[in-house]
Amino acid sequence: MQEKTEKIWCIVPAAGIGTRMQAGIPKQYLKLNTITILDFTLGRLLSNEQIEKVVVCIHPEDDYWQDSIFANHSKIIMAAGGNERADTVLNGIHCLQQHAASNDWVLVHDAARPCVRVADIQKLIDKAIETQVGAILVAPLHDTIKQAEDGFSTKTLDRSVLWRALTPQLFKIKELELALVSAKNANNEVTDEASAVEQLNKPVQLVEGHADNIKITSPADLNLARYFLAQQEKKTCG
């Protein structure tokens, strides 16, 4: 059970430049309907009343954040991004340490995942708090997965044990900081927060979320995200 002293904080790494989007601005500032990808994402996170504050980590030369509808929101804290994702998240953690206790939780969510469902965020938080073990959202794989070598298939993998890692990912602040620092000192690759925690041989729970929680990385993803958001809106209103 959650101790009364525990709080939940959030970090949104938003310092990337999104070169694969082939756009003139960082992808998080591209428009999804009437607002930006980042603003859609922040709106979903801020709708959860358990989240104390959201640290948005932006590029030091970011000229776009000032136009965000959340730029002056009372629950938003700004921090500088780093060279790599892990550096950015560490910067966010160091910023949070001015406000949070080491036993508090930190929820890390990609700026470019605006379709995350509010219910999935709550599901993740509830599971981690209930068990006191870090957890991430995941989605099952439905395609047949091949292992390849030199352009040839060498093996068909058992997809029943394979999952797509999504965000948010939720860990104790002190645990995630230790994991990211350890990975950095060992020059180990960190593709998400869970990969750093796994390197310490710490357990990471898998909480199944919805597959429409996509990460926008290419121009085609924009229309797909618009479709998913429209479908979610229909279900909410239906």
Q: Is residue 95 part of a domain?
A: yes
Considering only CA atoms, which of 125, 153, 145, 128 is closest in space to residue 205? 128
Q: Determine the pLDDT at residue 19.
A: 57
Mention every residue, 6+ apart, whose C-beta is less than 8 A from residue 136. Answer: 124, 165, 166, 167, 168, 169, 170, 192, 193, 194, 204, 205, 206, 207
At 174 the pLDDT is 96
When pLDDT is averaged across residues 222-232 and rounded to a whole number, the result is 94
Q: What's residue 5's pLDDT?
A: 76
Q: Is residue 110 included in any domain, yes or no? A: yes
> Does some domain include residue 108?
yes
pLDDT tens-place string over residues 197-219: 999 999 999 999 999 999 999 88
pTM for the complete prediction?
0.93
Tokens of 130: 């209930």
Position 79 in a domain: yes
- Total domains in the chain come to 1
Structural domain of 132: 8-136+166-237
Q: Whose CA is closest to 138, among 170, 108, 167, 171?
A: 167
User: Average pLDDT in the 128-150 region?
Assistant: 96
Q: What is the pLDDT of residue 1?
A: 47
Calculate what percentage of the chain has a pLDDT beyond 70: 95
Residue 4 has a pLDDT of: 58
203, part of any domain: yes
In a domain, 38, yes or no: yes
pLDDT at position 16: 82
**Per-residue pLDDT, 18:** 59
State residue 102's pLDDT score.
Answer: 84
Judged against a pLDDT cut of 80, whether residue 34 lies above it is answered with yes
Domain-embedded: residue 16 = yes
Q: Which pLDDT band holds residue 234 (cuts at 50, 70, 90)? A: confident
**Strand, coil or helix: 228:** helix
Mean pLDDT of the chain: 93
What are the start-end ranges of the E strands in the chain? 8-14, 31-32, 35-36, 51-58, 76-80, 105-108, 135-140, 145-149, 152-157, 163-172, 205-208
